[in-house]
């Protein structure tokens, strides 16, 4: 008889719910309620959804937010001026520039313009370096969210082999830096990796951030593994989808994050933890 074992679902919403009281205590101890500024250019549907999630969580935890919506054609110069204005505004503790930006604006330049002390996303090179050195106040929100989701389920990164699929500067690489800082042995794969199955089969934990639905299938995984799906793709018929064939993979592995409801809610939570830490 074949027995199909179902994996532990690493539920980001439930985990976040248990962590919120601790964050509320930290907010209550601050001398002023933090304010987050979200700068958006244009009106991409995916950005709209991510911003909505951030605004609704800000409301839930009683943090102030200011949504600065600018036309898609706004010049780089103008965006830089707005960032600069909030850098020097003492009533604002955090600044997010919602990515991706239109192609006529250099995203790297805009990110670098954010004062690292207000960089709640942890994307400036100053904060990225701090993450790589295992120091600093803030850490890329997605990386912090993943670390806390694993911690909450008593899954340690130390001494584990972690295979990360995705090597982007703003997602894959900082996640790799977080795992190395947590003393994991890290393998990073990307589109050029010759044998992805071989690399994922070596892992205790697989973290997928490729933006390629259905990339990770049963052949990539093995019993007992932990699968963290960072990918988010908006599909017309099935809504938000991750990079993992969830329904098939969950019957093989030990633990897995769903999409939606896994890394996403934890990323939003970590963003506000970063805001609170920068407000102290």
Q: How far is the CB of 267 from ligand NAD (least distance, A)?
A: 3
Question: Number of C-alpha atoms within 13 angstroms, CB side, residue 82?
Answer: 21
Asked if 165 touches ligand NAD (CB under 6 A), the answer is: yes
- Which is catalytic among the residues 121, 243, 245, 277? 121
State yes or no: is 109 an active-site residue.
Answer: no
Provide the mask over 221-250, with x wherever binding to ligand NAD is found by CB under 6 A and - wherever it is not: ---------xxxx-----------------
CA distance 170 to 128: 9
Q: Which is nearer to ligand NAD, 53 or 78 (CB)?
A: 53
Contact range with ligand NAD by CB under 6 A, out of 17-25, 69-77, 88-96, 209-217: 209-217
Provide the mask over 104-143, with x wherever binding to ligand NAD is found by CB under 6 A and - wherever it is not: --------------------------------------x-
Closest CA to 268 of 55, 123, 64: 55
Name which position in 61, 212, 254, 261 contacts ligand NAD (CB under 6 A): 212
Closest CA to 10 of 270, 253, 211: 253
Collapsing DSSP to helix, strand or coil, 9 comes out as strand
- Which is catalytic among the residues 40, 93, 98, 173? 98
State yes or no: is 54 an active-site residue.
Answer: yes
Asked if 167 touches ligand NAD (CB under 6 A), the answer is: yes
* Total site size for ligand NAD, rule CB under 6 A: 25
| Tokens matching residue 116 | 């690292």
Which of the residues 16 through 35 are near ligand NAD (CB under 6 A)?
none
| Reduced 3-state DSSP string for 132-148 | HCCCCCCCCHHHHHHHH
State yes or no: is 98 an active-site residue.
Answer: yes
Omega of the bond leading into 191 within 30 degrees of 0 (cis) = no
Q: Which is nearer to ligand NAD, 46 or 251 (CB)?
A: 46
Query: Which residue shows structure tokens 């939606």?
Result: 260
Query: Which residue shows structure tokens 């604002």?
Result: 92
DSSP 176-208: HHHHHHTT-EEEEE-TT-S-HHHHHHT-SEEEE
Q: Which residues bind ligand NAD (CB under 6 A)?
A: 142, 165-168, 170-172, 189-191, 193, 196, 209-212, 215, 230-233, 263-264, 267
Active site residues: 54, 98, 121
């Amino acid at each position: 008889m074949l027995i199909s074992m179902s994996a532990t679902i690493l539920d980001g919403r439930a985990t976040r719910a248990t962590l919120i009281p601790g964050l509320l205590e930290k907010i209550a101890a601050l001398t002023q309620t933090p304010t987050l500024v979200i700068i958006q250019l244009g009106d991409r549907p995916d950005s709209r959804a991510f911003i909505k999630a951030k605004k609704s969580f800000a409301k839930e935890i009683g943090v102030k937010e200011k949504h600065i919506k600018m036309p898609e054609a706004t010049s780089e110069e103008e965006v830089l001026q707005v960032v600069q204005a909030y850098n020097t505004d003492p009533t604002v503790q955090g600044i997010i520039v919602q990515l991706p930006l239109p192609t006529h604006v250099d995203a790297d330049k805009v990110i670098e313009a954010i004062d690292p002390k207000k960089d709640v996303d942890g994307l400036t090179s100053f904060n990225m370096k701090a993450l790589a050195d295992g120091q600093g106040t803030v850490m890329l929100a997605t990386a912090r969210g993943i670390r806390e989701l694993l911690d909450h389920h008593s899954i340690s990164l130390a001494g584990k082999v972690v295979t990360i699929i995705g090597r982007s500067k703003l997602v894959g690489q900082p996640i790799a830096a977080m795992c190395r800082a947590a003393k994991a042995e890290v393998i990073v794969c990307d589109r050029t990796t010759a044998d992805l199955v071989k690399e994922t089969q070596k892992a205790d934990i697989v973290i997928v951030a490729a933006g390629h639905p259905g990339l990770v299938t049963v052949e990539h995984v093995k019993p007992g593994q932990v699968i963290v799906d960072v990918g988010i793709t908006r599909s017309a018929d099935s809504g938000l989808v991750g990079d993992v064939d969830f329904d098939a993979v969950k019957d093989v592995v030990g633990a897995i994050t769903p999409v939606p409801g896994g890394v996403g809610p934890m990323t939003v939570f970590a963003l506000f933890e970063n805001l609170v830490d920068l407000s102290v």
